[in-house]
Structure 1
C-alpha cells in the first residue's frame, strides 16, 4: 500500500473532530399526566367519582393509546348524550365522530355487548318494576341507536322478575310488525305472568316506548 500524500494528510487534518452528543430528553405528551391522575381518581373514588366523559376517557386510553382522548370523549358525549348511549350507538354513527375509526368503533361494540350481558344478568331474577330507571337504562343502551325499529319483549314472573328478554321483530326505519298471537304464544311457553313490550324510534334516537301488560 503506498504512502499517504501530503494533500490527503492535509485534507483529513482539516476535518472537524466529531464528539458524541447527548440525546435530547424525550418529553412525554401533556396528556400522560392527566391519564395517571384520572386513573388515581377512579381507584380512590370509584366510578361515581367520574362523570360520563371521564369514564369514557378511561376506556379510550386503551383503545387509542397515543392520542389525547379527552376531546374525543367529550365529542362522543355531545353527539350521543350519555356514556350508555355512546356504547349503544351503531359503528356507522360512532365513526362520524372525529378520532373514531372502524377498529375503535368495533371495540366499543364489544364493550357494549359485555355491558348488555352484565345488565341482563343483573336484572334477571330481580323485581324489575321496583327499579324502573335501571330497566330504562338497559333498554336505552341496547336499542336507542338501532337504525331499524325493534319490537322487544321482557317476560316477567309473578314477582315481576325477568324470565327472558327477546327481540321478536325487526322492522324498517319507521315500522315494525307486531303479532299479538306470537307474543301470547311465547309468554305461555315461558309461563310468564306479565310482559313489558318495548320498541324504539330510529328517527328519534332518544325515544323508547314501553307498555306493560299482564298475561291472563
Structure 2
C-alpha cells in the first residue's frame, strides 16, 4: 500500500532536538565548557540520561527550581524527581555526577591554599551541602599553608538545629595536626544559606 505524501514527509522528519544536540556538542568541542551557559551544559549531560527527548525544558526547569548548576547537582534525589521530566534513574545519575564532582572538588582543594580562593571554598561547600535536608556542622581542617587536610561532617542535627561540642572539634584538629579550621554550618530552611567561620 503506497504511503501518501504527507505521511511520507512526516516519517522522514526527525525531532528538532537531534540537530540541536549535534550543534551543542560541536560548540563544546570547539570552545569547551566556557562556550556554553549552564543550562546548555546541563542539557549536554541530560542527552545521555534522556536519550530520545528534548532536554532543554528539563535543564531550564532544574535551574529555575534550584538556582545554579552546583545546586542542581547538590539537590536531594527526591527533590530532583519533583521536576517534570526527571524520573528515578535520571535523579540517580545526577547524584552520581554530583558525587564525582564533589570528589574532584576535594582533590582540587586539598593541598591548596584554600583561603586564597574564598569563592571556590564557598562553591565547594554549596555543592556539598546546600540542599541537605538536615543541619550539618562541617569542619575544613587546614595545614600551616592553609591547605585542606580534611573535610568532615562533625555533627548532623535535625531540620532546625545541630549540636556542636568544642572539645570534639579541638580533639579532631589535634589528631589531624591542623593549624587552622573553617567551620561550616548549613541552614536547611534556607536552601542556599551556609555560614562559614575561620
Measured against the shorter chain, the TM-score band is over 0.9
1:98-113 correspondence runs (5 A): 98-113=84-99
Deviation at 1:131, TM superposition (A): 0.4
1:148-167 correspondence runs (5 A): 148-167=134-153
Give the aligned length. Answer: 194
Residue 125 of structure 1: aligned partner: 111
**Structure 1, residues 12-71: CA drift from partner, whole Å, max 9, x if none?**
xxxxxxx67699343210100001000111111110111111100000000000110001
Counterparts of 2:197 and 2:128, CA distance in 1: 17
State the SS of the aligned residue for 1:208.
strand
Please state if 1:143 is matched with 2:120.
Answer: no
TM-score normalised per structure 1: 0.87
Residue 19 of structure 2: aligned partner: 33
Residue 58 of structure 2: aligned partner: 72
Residue 193 of structure 2: aligned partner: 207
C-alpha RMSD of matched pairs (Å): 1.3
Residue 42 of structure 1: aligned partner: 28
Please state if 1:59 is matched with 2:76.
Answer: no
State the SS of the aligned residue for 1:140.
helix
Counterparts of 1:83 and 1:61, CA distance in 2: 16
Counterparts of 2:34 and 2:168, CA distance in 1: 42
Deviation at 1:206, TM superposition (A): 1.0
Residue 168 of structure 1: aligned partner: 154
Larger Rg: 1
Please state if 1:81 is matched with 2:70.
Answer: no
Residue 173 of structure 2: aligned partner: 187
Unaligned ranges ≥5, structure 2: none
State the SS of the aligned residue for 1:198.
strand
TM-score normalised per structure 2: 0.95
State the SS of the aligned residue for 1:148.
coil
